[in-house]
Amino acid sequence: MEYRKLGNTKLQLSAITYGAFAIGGNMWGGNEEQESIKAVQASIDHGVSTIDTAPFYGFGLSEELIGKAVAGYDRSKIQLLTKFGLVWDQSNQGKGEFFFDAADNDGNKLPVYKYAAKESIIREVEASLKRLGTDYIDLLQIHWPDATTPIAETMETLELLIKQGKIRAAGVSNYSLQQMQTSQQSIQLASNQVPYSMLNRAIEQDVVPYAQQNHIGIIAYSPLERGLLTGKYKPDFKLSDDDHRNGYFNQFSIGKVNLFLEAIRPLAQEKKASLSQLVLRWTTQKPGITVVLAGARNAAQAIDNAKAVDFSLSAEELAFIGQTFEGVFG
C-alpha cells in the first residue's frame, strides 16, 4: 500500500481508502452486517488504513458498523474520516436547505436537509464519535454545501473542534472552486472530497489546480462510477428497486463504457490485474489526486481494491488509456 500526506496536515492516508457509503444499505439495496464488518477488516488487514464514512450512510448504520469493525485494532494506525451537514432527525427538520426525500433501510421516508450551522455541527460530531466508538475524528468534512449558513460560520466551528481535540483536520466535500476560496479565508482546508473518474474529469479544470497551488488534498470518490467501470453491468442490467444505480447509470452509455473497458482489458491482463484494479490505479496516478475511495461490501472486494496499488502504470500506459478513451468517446 502507498501512504500519502493529506494537504498541509500531519495525516498520512492510504492511497486506496475504504469508502463506506454502500455498507450503510440505504440507496444500495440493503445491507449485510457481518459481511460489511469483514469487508472493513479485510481492508485494514491488507494495508488500507483510511476509512471514509458519513452519518447519512444508512442514517448512522455505516458509522456504527465501522465502529464495530475497528474496535480490535490500534486506533492510532487507523484514520477515520466522516462528515456532517446532512440532517434528517426531528430536531433539525425544516432548518437549512431541503435536499431530497430519502428512505431508510426499513423503507421509512425521511426528508434530508443540508444544514451546517454551529450547533448542528457540534451535535452531529458528538453522535458520530459515539457511533464510531472513538474520542476523535481524523478528518471531518462538510458533506454538501449549505446555502443557508455562512461558510465562515461552518469553518470557524471546525477550527473550534480542532482546538478542542475532537477532530484532527477539517475538509469539505462537493465544494466548487469559489466555495473553497471562501473557506480558505477562515481556515486552512485539508481537503476537498469530490467525484472523479475516467468518465467524470470536470475537477481537472479548476478544483485540482487550485488545490495543488494551495496544498489542499483531493479525495476522489466514485472512481469506479459505483461499479459501472468494473465491466459487470450490461445495457439491460436491473438491480433491486431500491438501488439508486438504476437511475444513476442512465447518464452514461453503458455500451460505450463496455467497449472502452474491453479495449483496455489486455493491459489489465498484462498487469495481472482486474479491470477495477486498473481503473483504481489510473485514478491514484492522476495529478493532484491524494487518495481514492473504493467501496466494498465483502472481504473479497475489499482485498481486490487494496491490491490496486500492487503495480504501476507507465507514462506510455497512461497515454494508451487516454487515447483509447478518446477513440471510443470522442
Our separate counts of H helices and E strands in the chain read: 11, 13
Residue-wise pLDDT tens digits, 31-47: 578 999 999 999 999 99
Rounded mean pLDDT, 1-7? 97
> How far lies 223's CA from each of 266, 293, 301, in Å?
20, 7, 15
Rounded mean pLDDT, 151-180? 98
> What local confidence, expressed as pLDDT, does residue 24 receive?
74
Listed in sequence order, the residues at least 6 apart from 14 whose beta carbon sits closer than 8 Å to its beta carbon are 1, 2, 3, 4, 47, 48, 49, 50, 79, 291
> What local confidence, expressed as pLDDT, does residue 240 receive?
66
| R_g over Cα of the chain | 19
Higher pLDDT pick, 6 / 246: 6
Q: CA angle, 91 as apex, 127 and 167 as ends, to 5°?
A: 30
> What local confidence, expressed as pLDDT, does residue 312 receive?
97
Q: What is the mean pLDDT of the chain?
A: 92
Please determine, for residue 273, whether its predicted confidence score (pLDDT) is greater than 70: yes
Select which of 18, 57, 113, 196 is catalytic: 57
Residue-wise pLDDT tens digits, 78-134: 999 999 999 997 666 678 999 989 887 778 888 999 999 999 999 999 999 999 999
Higher pLDDT pick, 241 / 285: 285
Please determine, for residue 175, whether its predicted confidence score (pLDDT) is greater than 90: yes
For residue 239, give the 3-state DSSP assignment. coil
CATH classification number, 3-233+276-311, choose in 3.10.590.10, 3.30.465.10, 3.20.20.100, 3.40.190.170: 3.20.20.100
> What local confidence, expressed as pLDDT, does residue 93 receive?
63
Rounded mean pLDDT, 293-298? 92
Length in residues, the chain: 330
Catalytic residue flag (residue 57) = yes
Backbone angles phi, psi at 212, to 5 degrees: -65, -40
The pLDDT confidence band at residue 241, using thresholds 50, 70 and 90, is: low
CA-nearest of 292, 293, 281, 288 to 7 is: 288
Listed in sequence order, the residues at least 6 apart from 115 whose beta carbon sits closer than 8 Å to its beta carbon are 85, 86, 87, 92, 95, 96, 97, 146, 148, 149
Q: CA angle, 55 as apex, 51 and 57 as ends, to 5°?
A: 75
Block residue for cell numbers 497515454: 319
